[in-house]
Amino acid sequence: DAGITQSPRHKVTETGTPVTLRCHQTENHRYMYWYRQDPGHGLRLIHYSYGVKDTDKGEVSDGYSVSRSKTEDFLLTLESATSSQTSVYFCAISDGTSNSNQPQHFGDGTRLSIL
Amino acid sequence: SQQGEEDPQALSIQEGENATMNCSYKTSINNLQWYRQNSGRGLVHLILIRSNEREKHSGRLRVTLDTSKKSSSLLITASRAADTASYFCATVGNTPLVFGKGTRLSVIA
């Protein structure tokens, strides 16, 4: 299995609080991604990174920010969590010179509940 | 959006039977990928087929791609109980992977 660690694995928090999820990789892959998975929607891309300090928005980026200060770490922050952000969040990584022609490797997810 | 749409949404078969899942998409792609997700786990990459390929095999998996119909199929032969999972297609064009909503496969022993 690809060396991807997501933390925490589970979190329950209240509306309005800030939340940060961490993705750590040991593969030295260039690309890192954050997705959310919800019933009826499949996986949707939130943000992705193509290098240190290089990030771009995905399909559902509103309400989320990301940072990548080191190759191995990609952080996802909910500045002020809302109940609509209750979801399972997955981090993924991929290698290569393009984000399009390599498979992605996924972590096991963070289950986030916002009450 | 070039989101893939899997069909059927759910499929239940007996062990030993073949399972076929279909994926349709909307716009031109560079490649199409299939992933499996076991309950409570992350997605696992199964196979990638490029837009200039028509068929690809990997073990008990066979993937076809018809770019003229904007569709792909995943065939799992001689299914096993361990194949029980959700299967997703994902398309790649000018943006990173865009996933469909998945097919839930149940293989009954």
pLDDT, tens digit (0-9, with 9 covering 90-100), for A10-29: 999 999 999 999 999 999 99
| pLDDT score, position B93 | 80
Do B102 and A33 make contact, defined as CB atoms within 8 angstroms?
A: no
**Cα separation, B1 vs A93, whole angstroms:** 22
**Cα separation, A37 vs B26, whole angstroms:** 21
Query: Quick count: other Cβ atoms within 10 Å of Cβ A54?
Result: 11
Structure tokens at A11: 């979190």
| pLDDT score, position B98 | 87
Query: Quick count: other Cβ atoms within 10 Å of Cβ B99?
Result: 22
- Distances, alpha carbon A26 to alpha carbons A6, A29, A60, A82, A96, in Å: 12, 8, 27, 32, 16
Residue A84, C-beta contacts closer than 8 angstroms, at least 6 positions apart: none
More confident residue, A102 or B53: B53
| pLDDT score, position A99 | 56
Given a cut of 70, is residue B90 above it in pLDDT? yes
Which of A100, A105, A108, A110 would you mutate first to test chain B, the one with the most B CBs within 10 A?
A: A100
| pLDDT score, position A40 | 79
3-state per-residue secondary structure call for chain B = CCCCEEECCEEEEECCCCEEEEEECCCCCCEEEEEEECCCCCEEEEEEEECCCCEEEECCEEEEEECCCCEEEEEECCCCHHHCEEEEEEEECCCCCEECCCEEEEEEC
Supply φ then ψ for residue A50, to 5 degrees. -115, 15
In this complex, which of B48, B93, B101 lies closest to A103 when CB atoms are compared? B48
| pLDDT score, position B2 | 47
Residue A41 near chain B (CB below 8 Å) = yes
In this complex, which of A42, A107, A108 lies closest to B99 when CB atoms are compared? A42
Selected residues 31-50 of chain B with any CB under 8 Å from a CB in chain A: 31, 33, 40-45, 48, 50
* Cα first-last separation, chain B: 38
More confident residue, B95 or A3: A3
Give chain B's mean pLDDT: 93
**Cα separation, A87 vs A32, whole angstroms:** 19
Supply φ then ψ for residue A83, to 5 degrees. -60, -25
**Cα separation, A96 vs A4, whole angstroms:** 17
**Cα separation, B92 vs A21, whole angstroms:** 26
